[in-house]
Amino acid sequence: MKTIDLRSDTVTLPTPAMREAMAHAPLGDDVYGEDPTINALEQRSAELFEKEAALFVPSGTMGNLASILAHCQRGDEVIMGNKAHTFLYEAGGISALGGIHTYTIPNQEDGSLLLDDIESAIRPDDIHAPISRLLVLENTQNACGGTVLTPEYTRKAADLAHQHGLLVHIDGARIFNAAVAQAVTAAALTIEVDSITFCLSKGLCCPVGSVIVGSQPFIDQVRRVRKMLGGGMRQAGVLAAAGLVALDEMIDRLTDDHTRARHLAQALGQIKGIHILNDPPPTNMVYMRLDSDVTLTDEKLIAGCAAQGIVIRGRDGVFRLVTHYWINDEAVDTTVSVIKALLAR
């Protein structure tokens, strides 16, 4: 039985082209700056975002952590949404390892932070208060249903932060999904900000890795932080080779994932007992829940799907189904049929 894994786009396996590139990648010692494949990936990434430099790191969590540690000193404060991945799902790393304070403000349904809320969160110059140092945005906004921030909104938020002397970091784990969904370049979504982290290992299908992008002085500093965190790797070009394939071949096809997510949401939404929370899904994530009068429990839905080779996950009554490279039209149709049958029992 072929498995249909809808838990996340992190479950993606490298494509045949990636495996071929990884097998034949020119290698060197990246800590010495001598891995040609890493260097090529970092240069290509910087060019895509129209920034000066980039740095390969093992994970998106390390990318956000290293970026924030490079921007902030101990006791500084970072403003971010209360649904930010860094706040919810990164083990409190900026506090535990950096002594950095977090000021959360509400994410709106579209994933944005109200400009008035941002301005109100910026501390006055007062010895009793931490120093407001950094604004963190997320695009796409995972916990808001994969919503996208527009270039216009990002510009306004960045301008506001810069006017008050704050830096701006974007957790762009799925920034290419946001770009494809709006038919703009990734650079158009990030040109005004000081740093960006994007993931290679989600919708772009690479087995490992994220990239941090920013100015050359910032990347020089974050390289030191990466070493401190244990992220300095040696012949890492075997991983970067997959990243180069991803940047060349995997970005434009993300629109297929978005189309399948909309199809999945539309079809599931027609099943009695299912409520789609983000209809239509803006990118590749479908959020749904079972209606309160449904006798089928969440646990039995998960188990019933698993018995048919479909892997889904729920939390607090909400299911997130994520489309990706390895989910084709047949997988979407099969998922709908299985869930419909389970609810009909």
67: domain CATH number?
3.40.640.10
Q: pLDDT at position 15, please?
A: 96
Domain final residue, candidates 213, 248, 283: 248
**Total number of domains in the chain:** 2
Q: Count the residues in the chain.
A: 345
Instruction: Judge if 83 and 169 occupy the same domain.
Output: yes
98-156: pLDDT as tens digits: 999 999 999 999 999 999 999 999 999 999 999 999 999 999 999 999 999 999 999 99
Please count the other Cβ atoms lying within 10 Å of the Cβ belonging to residue 33: 11
Rounded average pLDDT over 185-203: 97
Asked if residue 194 and residue 156 are part of one domain, the reply reads yes
Report whether 294 contacts 273 (CB < 8 A): yes
Asked if 148 and 228 sit in the same domain, the reply is yes
On whether residue 2 sits in a domain, the answer given is no
DSSP reduced 3-state for 199: strand
Residue 4 forms part of a structural domain = no
CB 323 within 8 A of CB 264: yes
CA distance 282 to 145: 8
Is 3 within the bounds of a domain? no
Span 16-50, pLDDT tens digits: 999 999 999 999 999 999 999 999 999 999 999 99
In a domain, 8, yes or no: no
54 contact partners, CB below 8 Å, separation of at least 6: 41, 42, 43, 45, 46, 211, 212, 213, 214, 219
**d(C-alpha 112, C-alpha 24), whole Å:** 42
pLDDT (tens digit per residue) in 303-317 = 999 999 999 999 889
Mean pLDDT along residues 275-302: 94
From the DSSP assignment, how many helices (H) and strands (E) are in the chain? Answer: 13, 13
Asked if 41 contacts 233 with a C-beta cutoff of 8 angstroms, the reply is no
Per-residue model confidence (pLDDT) at position 2: 87
- Judge whether 324 and 5 are in contact, CB under 8 Å: no
CA distance 189 to 211: 16
Residues in Cβ contact with 179 at an 8 Å cutoff, skipping those fewer than 6 apart: 185, 186, 188, 189, 251
Q: Print the domain residue range for 137.
A: 14-248
CA dihedral of residues 32, 33, 34, 37 (deg, nearest 10): 140
What mean pLDDT value characterizes the chain? 96
Per-residue model confidence (pLDDT) at position 344 = 86
The residues, any chain, with a CB within 8 Å of residue 14's CB and separated by 6 or more, are: 22, 205, 206, 207, 242
